[in-house]
């Protein structure tokens, strides 16, 4: 089986390398010469066009920034849909709007091309060690066929329903993660202002009810002031924009999400968009005039 991979960024590159480690043959198309050279050194075939990539692939994975980019790569002139073989499958592992996933799935189905919307959670560290969580939407038969491929990159793969449900689940995930990081930030600036050692605060609460994967992943970065991006603020803002767009479409008020989206907007405008989302801390530091 040959797998095509498009979108070799912070998440996509380590995910593709895990496919190679699992023994899959890989073909890529990237606009970055350095990425092409690096992946060729790992045994990957490089082609020039999406049509050529699709024609060579049994399964095609896309890992792109947002809905417009995914639609462009899959559906536009010169896109995957023009080269993909009947019976092949596209797995979009990007985080996009659920309605966009449904539109893409419908057009691919008309060409007898399977489709899964399968966004991921876990950030760069889990992409590197192959333990991301995948939430997938699509037909049962297509999901089962592609499950071993997704498991080669992930610690958890869950089918959440039909096409669109994967990204609906990812929206829920991004709400919870953003609000958790905000809560950790508020707590740490409070204890900092009270003169308590925040390393000891973290050590004390991580084993109790306040403990979480978010706390363990982000509090150490905050304490070390390490905001190198594992998942950028601008990308999280993009996801929350998709949340709010969807909430408007289905008439579901989300006041907490609306609030944290404004926080992320402020950080982005102030030049922190390329920071890891642990830098939500900076917003609360400015409010309280403290520095962790």
Active-site residue, 170 included = yes
SS3 per residue for the chain: CEEEEECCCCCHHHHHHHHHHCCCEEEECCCCHHHHHHHHHCCCEECCCHHHHHHHCCEEEECCCCHHHHHHHHHCCCCHHHCCCCCCEEEECCCCCHHHHHHHHHHHHHCCCEEEECCEECHHHHHHHCCEEEEEECCHHHHHHHHHHHHCCEEEEEEEECCCHHHHHHHHHHHHHHHHHHHHHHHHHHHHHCCCCHHHHHHHHCCCCCCCHHHHHHHHHHHHCCCCCCCEHHHHHHHHHHHHHHHHHCCCCCHHHHHHHHHHHHHHHHHHCCCEHHHHHHHHHHHHCCCC
**Which of the following is catalytic: 13, 126, 170, 282?**
170
Residues marked active site are found at 170
């Amino acid at each position: 089986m040959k797998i095509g991979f498009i979108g070799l960024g912070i998440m996509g590159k380590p995910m593709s390398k895990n496919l190679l480690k699992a023994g899959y043959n890989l073909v890529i198309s990237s606009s970055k010469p350095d990425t092409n050279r690096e992946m060729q050194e790992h045994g990957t075939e490089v082609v020039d066009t999406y049509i050529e990539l699709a024609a060579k692939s049994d399964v095609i994975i896309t890992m792109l920034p947002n809905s417009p980019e995914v639609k462009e790569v899959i559906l536009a002139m010169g896109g995957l849909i023009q080269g993909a073989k009947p019976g092949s499958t596209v797995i979009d592992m990007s985080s996009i709007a659920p309605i966009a996933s449904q539109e893409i799935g419908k057009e691919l189905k008309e060409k007898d091309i399977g489709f899964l919307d399968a966004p991921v959670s876990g950030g760069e560290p889990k992409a590197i060690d192959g333990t991301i969580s995948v939430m997938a939407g699509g037909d049962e038969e297509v999901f089962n066929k592609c499950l071993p491929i997704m498991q080669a990159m992930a610690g958890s793969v869950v089918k959440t329903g039909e096409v669109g449900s994967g990204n609906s689940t990812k929206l829920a995930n991004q709400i919870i993660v953003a609000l958790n990081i905000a809560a950790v930030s508020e707590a740490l600036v409070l204890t900092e202002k009270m003169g308590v050692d925040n390393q000891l605060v973290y050590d004390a609460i991580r084993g109790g009810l306040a403990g979480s994967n978010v706390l363990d992943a982000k509090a150490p970065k905050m304490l070390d002031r390490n905001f190198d991006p594992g998942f950028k603020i601008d990308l999280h803002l993009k996801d929350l924009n998709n949340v709010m767009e969807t909430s408007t479409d289905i008439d579901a008020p989300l006041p907490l999400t609306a609030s944290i989206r404004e926080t992320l907007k402020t950080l982005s405008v102030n030049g922190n968009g390329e920071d890891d989302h642990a830098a939500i801390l900076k917003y609360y530091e400015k409010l309280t005039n403290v520095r962790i």
